[in-house]
Amino acid sequence: MYLSRFLSIHALWVTVSSVMQPYPLVWGHYDVCKTQIYTEEGKVWDYMACQPESTDMTKYLKVKLDPPDITCGDPPETFCAMGNPYMCNNECDASTPELAHPPELMFDFEGRHPSTFWQSATWKDYPKPLQVNITLSWSKTIELTDNIVITFESGRPDQMILEKSLDYGRTWQPYQYYATDCLDAFHMDPKSVKDLSQHTVLEIICTEEYSTGYMTNSKIIHFEIKDRFAFFAGPWLRNMASLYGQLDTTKKLRDFFTVTDLRIRLLRPAVGEIFVDELHLARYFYAISDIKVHGRCKCNLHATVCVYDNSKLTCECEHNTTGPDCGKCKKNYQGRPWSPGSYLPIPKGTANTCIPSISSIGNPSKFNRIWPNISSLEVSNPKQVAPKVALSTVPSVQVANHKRANVCDNELLHCQNGGTCHNHARCLCPAAYTGVLCEKRRCEETGGCGARSGQGAPPRGHAALLLLLPLLPLLPPATPTPTAAPFAV
């Protein structure tokens, strides 16, 4: 008479097992993602926190100039040669491809001869300022991984500001100021990145290092990303564990290297002298032959691949997350609040996988409060599960130890192996067991488990079986199996 009830339990077990199959007892550790790392053997892939490969992000941007008619050539005009500012017989003509200098030439293949470049109109309207805003937009959050490099075909500007936006151009903040005289231009003392430290790495500085005039070897402007990484990872960036630890636990540092848009504000062209030569204003203009921006899509450590489709970058999200940045859990996978992946503990990290909402397989909605069985994790944020580590490779990494989230519930998630739930916060385990849910044999920590230890390992799937126990009252009552009628003779 219990056959029907047994079959109902068996069917429910199969359903729960199939849903939970991708989720081992220790939920959340990376086992499918790979990250490109650098070793003495070169560039290799290793299983750790999920993040797309770093690449040249200029392939995916959109560029906008302000004022929009600032590009030279409409109407055609002459300008002076780069090497000889008094040889002013060069022509810019937007209607002739060989003489045109449109904005897309800031991002084309370098190495062509003669070089290709974007060029502004000359300073023919002096003393009105010759100013240009060049906005680079990705319509996607990206993380910078290498220096921003701007190569000028003209002299480097006397005054320039590099700005960033984290909200798709709605608001802007300075990244760095550039000037031949920082005190005069921006009322700031000149500095270089070498003057910074771990504690001042987020300081916005003005540098005079990249603002000389017409010189053959003075065409490049840098915004130093790697030099800032080096404060944490060492001069050769070999201690990436330290850098990842800092990025994981310091939001301001993480945001510093994160952008949706960049803006280059050209405020004053290269003059080369104290005074502007008003008789030769065709000497003064801006020309950029190349811009390099290396980075990766920000996917919150939930994706290894970022695809470019229909002129749009999108993360291919793992761990049951979704959204352009993998910033939320999929429908029916909201068994706990969404959290970004973590680089910690080094080296493998923690995936913080979105787990199924138990209500999505026909169970009471209160099962949505189930939490993963991850031992040795402290909760650093009510909405984030992040490990607290003490590693020599991660100096000054501190993770706040706030109140631990509910890890057990006498009705929902039982403590195992005879443990009892205390205030929904922790399991009180028998002497022979340990772990968040008393799921570990204590002897395993010392390697002393043996056949006669008296501590049998819990059967595989034990946690899932415990989930079924509260459901038994919800199953339909067993119905007697009808007795078969006798054969007619």
Q: What is the CATH number of the domain that holds 160?
A: 2.60.120.260
Residue 74 vs residues 105, 187, 236: alpha-carbon distances, Å: 17, 37, 48
pLDDT at 149: 96
Higher local confidence (pLDDT), 288 or 417: 288
Strongest mean pLDDT among 11-25, 32-46, 158-172, 388-402? 158-172
User: Is the sign of the CA dihedral 371, 375, 377, 379 positive or negative?
Assistant: positive
Query: pLDDT at residue 196 above 90?
Result: yes
How many whole angstroms separate alpha carbon 382 and alpha carbon 370?
A: 15
Closest of 255, 227, 273, 243 to residue 396, by C-alpha: 243
Residue 278, in any domain of the structure = yes
Query: pLDDT at residue 157 above 50?
Result: yes
Beta strands in 240-357 (DSSP E): 258-268, 287-292, 294-297, 305-309, 312-316, 321-322, 328-329
The pLDDT of 451-479, averaged and rounded, is 44
Element (H, E) at 233: helix 226-233
Higher local confidence (pLDDT), 287 or 359: 287
- As beta bridge partners, residue 440 has 434
pLDDT at 299: 96
Strongest mean pLDDT among 135-139, 217-221, 361-365, 430-434? 135-139
With cut-offs at 50, 70 and 90, classify the pLDDT of residue 108: confident
**Residue 374, C-beta contacts closer than 8 angstroms, at least 6 positions apart:** 26, 27, 28, 29, 350, 385, 436
Within a 10 A sphere around the Cβ of 61, how many other Cβ atoms? Answer: 20
Higher local confidence (pLDDT), 219 or 196: 196
Assign 136 to helix, strand or coil: strand
- DSSP code of residue 73: T
- Answer for the pair 142, 296: CB distance below 8 angstroms, yes or no: yes
pLDDT at 47: 62
Determine which of 59-68, 179-188, 477-486 has the lowest per-residue pLDDT on average: 477-486
226-233 helix and 240-249 helix, angle to the nearest 10 degrees: 100
Query: pLDDT at residue 7 above 70?
Result: no
Residue 292, in any domain of the structure = yes
Residue 450, in any domain of the structure = no
Residue 36, in any domain of the structure = no
pLDDT at 365: 40
Residue 201 vs residues 211, 229, 334: alpha-carbon distances, Å: 22, 9, 37
The pLDDT of 101-122, averaged and rounded, is 85
How many whole angstroms separate alpha carbon 457 and alpha carbon 440?
A: 8
Residue 475, in any domain of the structure = no
Query: pLDDT at residue 46 above 70?
Result: no
Structure token pair of residue 438: 């008393």
User: Is the sign of the CA dihedral 50, 54, 58, 59 positive or negative?
Assistant: negative
Query: pLDDT at residue 37 above 80?
Result: no
User: Is the sign of the CA dihedral 23, 25, 28, 34 positive or negative?
Assistant: negative
Higher local confidence (pLDDT), 282 or 40: 282
Q: Which residue has the tokens 């005190």?
A: 183
Residue 88, in any domain of the structure = yes
Assign 470 to helix, strand or coil: helix
- As beta bridge partners, residue 265 has 133, 161
Element (H, E) at 13: helix 3-20
With cut-offs at 50, 70 and 90, classify the pLDDT of residue 187: very high
How many whole angstroms separate alpha carbon 453 and alpha carbon 126?
A: 90
With cut-offs at 50, 70 and 90, classify the pLDDT of residue 271: confident
Assign 227 to helix, strand or coil: helix
**Residue 290, C-beta contacts closer than 8 angstroms, at least 6 positions apart:** 106, 107, 110, 117, 149, 150, 151
Assign 251 to helix, strand or coil: helix
Q: Which residue has the tokens 């970022």?
A: 306
- Tens of pLDDT, residues 372-417: 333 333 333 333 333 333 323 333 222 223 333 344 544 335 677 7
Q: Phi and psi of 89, rounded to 5°?
A: -120, 15
Q: Which residue has the tokens 């004022």?
A: 67
How would you class 292 by CB atoms within 10 Å of its CB: exposed for 0-12, middle for 13-18, buried for 19 or more? middle
> Range of 166's domain?
55-297
pLDDT at 172: 98
Residue 413, in any domain of the structure = no
pLDDT at 419: 78
With cut-offs at 50, 70 and 90, classify the pLDDT of residue 438: confident
pLDDT at 429: 83
The pLDDT of 170-181, averaged and rounded, is 97
Q: Which amino acid is at 172?
A: W
pLDDT at 481: 40
Q: Which residue has the tokens 């000149």?
A: 190
pLDDT at 8: 55
Q: What is the mean pLDDT of the chain?
A: 76
Residue 402, in any domain of the structure = no
Assign 137 to helix, strand or coil: strand
Give the CA dihedral 383, 389, 394, 395, nearest 10 degrees: 100
pLDDT at 241: 83
How many whole angstroms separate alpha carbon 315 and alpha carbon 307?
A: 6
Counted domains in the chain = 1
Higher local confidence (pLDDT), 306 or 362: 306
Structure token pair of residue 118: 């974007």
